[in-house]
Chain A
Amino acid sequence: MASNQATCDGSLSLIDFQIAANDFAEKWKKFNSAYPEWLWIDCSNRLGFAAHGVIDGYLSLQNVFIRRSLEEERDEGGCNDDEEPFDNATLSTSDDGDQYHFHVVYSPSYRVPVLYFHVQNTDGQPLNLDEIKTNLPTKSAKVLLESKWTFITQQEHPYLNRPWYMLHPCGTSEWMKLLLVGVDNSMATNGTERYMISWFSVVGQVFGLKLPFEMLKSIG
């Protein structure tokens, strides 16, 4: 059962995360079909047995090709129409962009979702942090990264035993609280679904990924 917690303190329980993640993946598939789908990667069996009631896993979006922004696009900046979601990230349908993998992993410590990502160039070489930052498509991305609330660090992926980059979760509940403030409590049942979409509408901007208007509209 979805709780009201999400709208109160900016955090999310594990169970609500799974509900919200599922909902997010479904809506993405429906409204964002130009992108690959988000898949739930189940890890409940990793101890060699499925302990009863355990939810263990993460959301994965693989093989998103994002073409590097050209100088002119970067300088343009400014606000973009919500009806044209792909303005900032030039989504490439062929293989000629940097290849991104995004994983959304729940943090039991901070009680929020965390975005992990991995990027490699067209030659299959992983990019380092400076290269990644330079290639981020928008001015707003850089602003986000300079804030104390969203910064990129390299950490070990909680499931894959490999270094991945992540957006550090320590500020997430703070800005989620602000984002969700003023939500009518009578729409409490919507709180959980609203959470992931709201969350991604912020973190996706780091990479120039904007959610389609219909998707934002679906949460009221």
Chain B
Amino acid sequence: MERGGKEAQQYVWDGAIPLQIHLHDSEVTTLPPPAPALILAPRIGYLPLLSPQLKPFFSGALPPGVDTVWFDYKGLPLKWYIPTGVLFDLLCAEPERPWNLTVHFRGYPGNVLIPCDGEDSVKWSYINSLKEAAYIIHGSSKNVMNMSQPDQIDLWRSVMNGKLETYNRISSKLKLGIVRDDFSAKLNPSSSKIQHSVDETEATAAPKASRIPVRLYICNVDEDFDDFEEELHFDSWDQISYINRPVEINGEEFYPNSSNTIKAEFKNEPGIEAEEESKTGIIEGTSIESVESQSLSGQPVIKLVRIQGIEPKSEIPFSWVVKNLMNPDYFLHICLYIKAPKPLDS
């Protein structure tokens, strides 16, 4: 990601996952069974929003009854309120293209998944996350709650249809600009003057000590997981830890780098002291010795970090990552594969 300005955000919004969707065997009533549907799913979107596109493929084959759509990946029911790109980054260590999913129209697993009644449920979940992000950033959700009806509808539609310009126009009214991003200005010196003044406006809306909405999805892998060809199979969501906790960063002039921020975050350490941090390189264990010493010293080793399908270089300032890789709900969704340390001898 070598560009600043709006290009990175556009790149993220244009991102899509090719899906190959199969109807579950138990719901096939025709012979031959229907062919799988090939669909491009926006990274920043949500799976239930695909159902209007999917139904024509399968409606002829379904048993009679009421449709309630849900998806699974190798038997794992997919949480519909998690953005599609995040699900893909998390569940496919080695990216599978196309991503093979199974769709169901019956037998909704209500003991595992919260109910979804189609677009309205997804919209409610999105607005709810946006309110939570606003609360984290400003200490109040008022900006979001006071949005006019037309604005709310247009904002949601811009997310559904991937219209970044509309989205930026409406969301800028919410004044959720989090951190000043001088890194982009440095990358684009010619536009830095304009960029800087835009960022000034955003920065004045946010307090100096900032809280950043972050959602971490952490998967524990065992020792031998160095070769991503090895398939990581998820039988249940209990194998993944979900941490919905804001990151706190202090000061506008300070640009903690991503690796230290992420590392500190899941160790629940407030504040970042990037410059003091030793460079033993917890990220992507650079050498066998450093990896082993991390384990023996009781430190977890981060094997993989994925944000919007990207593995960010550890030198990239966290502020840049936040500004450009966040989802439309103003949350930064981070997938982490970590190797737990060996237990220390007592």
Contacts and interface: CB of A to CB of B under 8 A. Distances in A.
Interface of A: 9, 46-49, 51-56, 108-110, 126, 154-156, 158, 161-163, 170
Interface of B: 79, 110-115, 131-132, 135-136, 139, 141, 213, 218, 220, 236-238, 241-242, 244-246, 266-269, 298, 300, 338, 340-341, 343
Given A110-B132, A161-B236, A48 B242 contact: no
Contacts of A52: 267
B237 A161 contact: yes
Given A47-B220, A47-B300, A54-B268, A163 B246 contact: no
A51 B135 contact: no
A158 B242 CA distance: 7
A163 B114 contact: yes
Contacts of B139: 9
A109 B268 contact: no
Contacts of B110: 163
A154 B114 CA distance: 7
Contact of A53 (B132, B213, B237, B268): B268
Given A108-B245, A170-B135, A47 B218 contact: yes
Dominant secondary structure at the A interface? loop
B152 to A, nearest CB: 16
Q: Enumerate the 4 nearest inter-chain pairs by beta-carbon distance, A residue then B residue, closest first.
A: A48-B340, A108-B245, A161-B237, A163-B114
8 contacts: A46-B241, A47-B338, A49-B300, A51-B266, A56-B268, A108-B245, A154-B115, A163-B115
A49 B341 contact: yes
Given A48-B340, A170-B141, A108 B244 contact: yes
B136 A109 contact: yes
B100 to A, nearest CB: 23
A170 B236 CA distance: 30
B148 to A, nearest CB: 18
A12 B318 CA distance: 27
A155 B114 contact: yes
B246 A51 contact: no
A170 B143 CA distance: 13
Contact of B267 (A9, A48, A54, A109): A54
B342 to A, nearest CB: 9
A48 B131 CA distance: 32
A51 B343 CA distance: 12
A161 B213 contact: no
Contacts of B114: 154-156, 163
A162 B77 CA distance: 12
A109 B238 contact: no
Contacts of B244: 108-109, 158
Given A47-B218, A49-B300, A54-B268, 5 more contacts: A109-B136, A109-B244, A126-B111, A158-B244, A163-B111
A169 to B, nearest CB: 9
Contacts of A110: 132, 135
Chain A CB within 10 Å, residue with most, of B115, B135, B238: B135
A155 B213 CA distance: 18
Contacts of A154: 114-115
Given A47-B340, A49-B341, A109 B246 contact: yes
A118 B220 CA distance: 29
Contacts of B236: 161
Contacts of A49: 298, 300, 340-341, 343
A110 B131 CA distance: 10
Contacts of B338: 47-48
Contacts of A46: 241
Given A49-B340, A52-B267, A54-B267, A170 B300 contact: no
A156 B340 contact: no
A9 B246 CA distance: 18
Chain A CB within 10 Å, residue with most, of B266, B268, B340: B268
Contact of A109 (B112, B115, B135): B135
B242 A51 contact: no
B82 to A, nearest CB: 10
Chain B CB within 10 Å, residue with most, of A46, A158, A161: A161
Contacts of A48: 220, 300, 338, 340
Contacts of B136: 109
Chain B CB within 10 Å, residue with most, of A48, A108, A110, A156: A48
Contacts of B340: 47-49
Nearest to A107: B244
A126 B135 CA distance: 32
Contacts of A47: 218, 220, 241, 266, 300, 338, 340
A156 B110 CA distance: 11
Nearest to B139: A9
Contacts of A162: 111-112
Nearest to B112: A162
Contacts of A56: 268
Contact of A51 (B112, B237, B300): B300
A43 to B, nearest CB: 9
Nearest to A174: B140
A198 B147 CA distance: 32
Nearest to B242: A158
